[in-house]
Amino acid sequence: MATVLKIRDLAVTYPDGTQALRGVDLDLAEGECLALAGESGSGKSTLLRVLLSLLPKGSRVTGSAVVDDDGTSLEAVGADRATLRRLRGGLLGYVGQDPHAAADPLWSVGRHLREAWRARRMRPAKGAAEERAEAVGITQARARLRQYPHQWSGGMLQRAHIAGAGVHGPLVTLADEPTSALDAGLAATTLAVLRADARALLLVCHDLRHVAAVADRVAVLYAGRVVETGVDVPARPRHPYTKALVAAAPRPGHGLPEELPGTSPDLRRELTGCAFAPRCGLALESCHREDPVLDDGVACPVVPR
């Protein structure tokens, strides 16, 4: 399968000096769902925001993130207006975190959906919005789209956002914890709808359990770096951090979850060595000095290959 998104050595420093991403390499293939996991502050949302150029003014971005559409390559890092116009809502779809917060309460749901065309200076064909809504499982779309967000349930409203994100058949759909505001049952169906509607999906998710069902591959971020990637990460974590993350998630029949020891590092300081070292039970003396490199999907020298 063709690679549609190629991220190389991506680094982001926020205006306050926080290094949210510190050299990330990722590939996303057509038809694939790649989940980005990690605690808040690991840089996973930042990654989506770089692609859409939604970082706060004054952020420094280096490296590259190329969206590859059938031979045309668009560089998202430092994109000019024309490129941005092609990316935002065009090649890149976006689904936010909290469906109600992501909807303007003064707008009807239908107006939101039609805005996906209008924002790009197009006119939705008659019935096109309703058709999109029905494609993601919103029944009686005609009547329901006339309602306002506060009259909709979170799950249904998130479907409407998914419909809006997919209006122009984006090459890559970026979803930023799309189910964190929904309860567990709804989360699974909503993820399934999202997965079915997207051509390639980059899914930011803090809960590894949700990820397992939909993601083809998982990349775990810690302190702005990919520490582990693979197809089986949630079930068979290898990196000490991922193991701790999995152990920290409550699972029925596994007793009380083990809390992650320590706190995330201060990303405003220059970090040397493995960022997880202060919290890691297996840390070697060299871990504090040498940057572990991603090798065979894990960035940790003590993991057996």
Partner 1 sequence: MPAPLRRLASALAVLATAGALVWGLMLLSPVDPARQILLAQGDPAPAPAEVDATRHELGLDRSYPEQYARWLTAAVRGDFGTSWRTGDPVAAELAGRLPATIRLTLVALLFATAVALALALPGLERPGGPADVFARGLVFGGSALPVFAVGVVLLEFVVVGAGIGRVVADGTWSGALLPALPLALGIGAEWARVLRGGLRDALGAPHSETARARGAGRLRILALHGLPHAAAPFLTVAAMSAGGLLAGAAVVETLFTWPGIGRLLITSIDAGDLPVVQAIVLLGVVAFLAANLLAETLTAAIDPRRREKR
Q: Which residues bind partner 1 (CB under 8 A)?
A: 52, 54, 57, 84-85, 88-90, 92, 94, 96-98, 101-106, 108, 115-116, 119-120, 148, 150, 161, 164-165, 174
End-to-end Cα separation, the chain, in angstroms: 27
The SS3 of residue 140 is coil
96 binds, among partner 1, ligand SF4, none (CB under 5 to 8 A by kind): partner 1
The SS3 of residue 136 is coil
> Which residue lies nearer to partner 1 by CB, 138 or 226?
138
Interacting span for ligand SF4 (CB under 6 A) from 181-189, 228-236, 254-262, 284-292? 284-292
Total binding residues toward ligand SF4, as defined by CB under 6 A: 14
> At its nearest, how many Å lie between partner 1 and the CB of residue 127?
20
164 binds, among partner 1, ligand SF4, none (CB under 5 to 8 A by kind): partner 1
Q: Does 99 bind ligand SF4 (CB under 6 A)?
A: no
In whole angstroms, give the CA distance from residue 11 to residue 109.
36
Q: Does 51 bind ligand SF4 (CB under 6 A)?
A: no
231 binds, among partner 1, ligand SF4, none (CB under 5 to 8 A by kind): none
Q: How crowded is the C-beta side of 149, counted as CA atoms within 13 Å? A: 19
> At its nearest, how many Å lie between ligand SF4 and the CB of residue 219?
16
In whole angstroms, give the CA distance from residue 242 to residue 208.
10
Q: Does 297 bind ligand SF4 (CB under 6 A)?
A: no
Q: Packing angle between helix 128-135 and helix 154-165, nearest 10 degrees? A: 120
Residue 209 β-bridge partners? none
Task: State the virtual CA torsion across 106, 108, 112, 115 in degrees, nearest 10.
Answer: -90
Residue 69 β-bridge partners? 72
Look at residues 85, 198, 88, 177 and name the one whose alpha carbon lies nearest to residue 135.
Answer: 198
Site for ligand SF4 in 202-261 (CB under 6 A): 240-241
Q: Does 283 bind ligand SF4 (CB under 6 A)?
A: yes
Q: Does 302 bind ligand SF4 (CB under 6 A)?
A: yes
Q: Which residues contact 168 (CB under 8 A, 6 or more apart)?
A: 89, 90, 93, 116, 120
Q: Does 74 bind ligand SF4 (CB under 6 A)?
A: no
Contact residues for ligand SF4, defined by CB under 6 A: 240-241, 274, 276-277, 280, 282-284, 287, 292, 300-302
